[in-house]
């Protein structure tokens, strides 16, 4: 096979519809746009959400709530999940490989949910005050 012998597969290419090219084409004169009105004119159409002058839906409804885009970079890990992980030293990379936090997470915090019986050393991971006391009571540390 050579470049000059290549052709598109059968039926993948077809001629563009040429509107407004005479009565015999079936789409002549008004070219399928009907008669008069904003939609029939060149460049005449409304913007997205326009409701003919009526107050549009996105302006009628109240604006409520906010979700920061920074939340996706922060993650939480429970004491129970640290217990199940079973590692002596835990850092961000270990949590990512175990699948406990997402790959785009940058900040991780351990929260006080569940129990911890093994000694765990945290490197570069934060912990709430109550989680920190439980980790230290089990013989671990938060660095």
Q: What angle do CA 101, 104, 107 make, to 5 degrees?
A: 65
User: What integer best gives the mean pLDDT of the chain?
Assistant: 92
Residue 109 has pLDDT above 90, yes or no: yes
Give the tens place of pLDDT for each residue, 54-75: 999 999 999 988 888 878 899 9
Residue 44 has pLDDT above 90, yes or no: no
Residue 44 lies in a domain: no
List strand residue ranges (DSSP E) for the chain, in order.
74-78, 89-90, 107-111, 121-122, 126-127, 141-142
List Cβ neighbours of 21 (8 Å cut-off, separation of 6 or more).
27, 28
Number of structural domains the chain divides into = 1
For residues 59 and 81, give the distance between their C-alpha atoms in angstroms, rounded to a whole number: 45
Residue 18 lies in a domain: no
Residue 96 lies in a domain: yes
- Domain range holding 113? 70-142
Residue 45 lies in a domain: no
Find the CATH number of the domain harbouring 113. Answer: 3.100.10.10
Residue 100 lies in a domain: yes
């Amino acid at each position: 096979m050579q470049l000059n012998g290549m052709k598109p597969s059968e039926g993948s290419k077809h001629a563009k519809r040429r509107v407004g090219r005479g009565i015999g084409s079936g789409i002549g004169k008004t070219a399928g746009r009907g008669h008069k009105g904003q939609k029939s004119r060149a460049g005449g159409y409304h913007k997205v959400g326009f409701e003919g002058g009526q107050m549009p839906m996105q302006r009628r409804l109240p604006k409520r709530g906010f979700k920061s885009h920074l939340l996706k970079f922060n993650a939480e890990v429970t004491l129970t999940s640290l217990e199940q992980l079973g590692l002596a030293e835990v850092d961000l990379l270990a949590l990512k490989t175990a699948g406990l936090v997402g790959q785009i997470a940058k900040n991780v915090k351990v929260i006080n949910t569940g129990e911890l019986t093994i000694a765990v050393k945290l490197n570069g991971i934060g912990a709430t005050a109550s989680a920190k006391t439980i980790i230290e009571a089990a013989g671990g540390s938060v660095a």
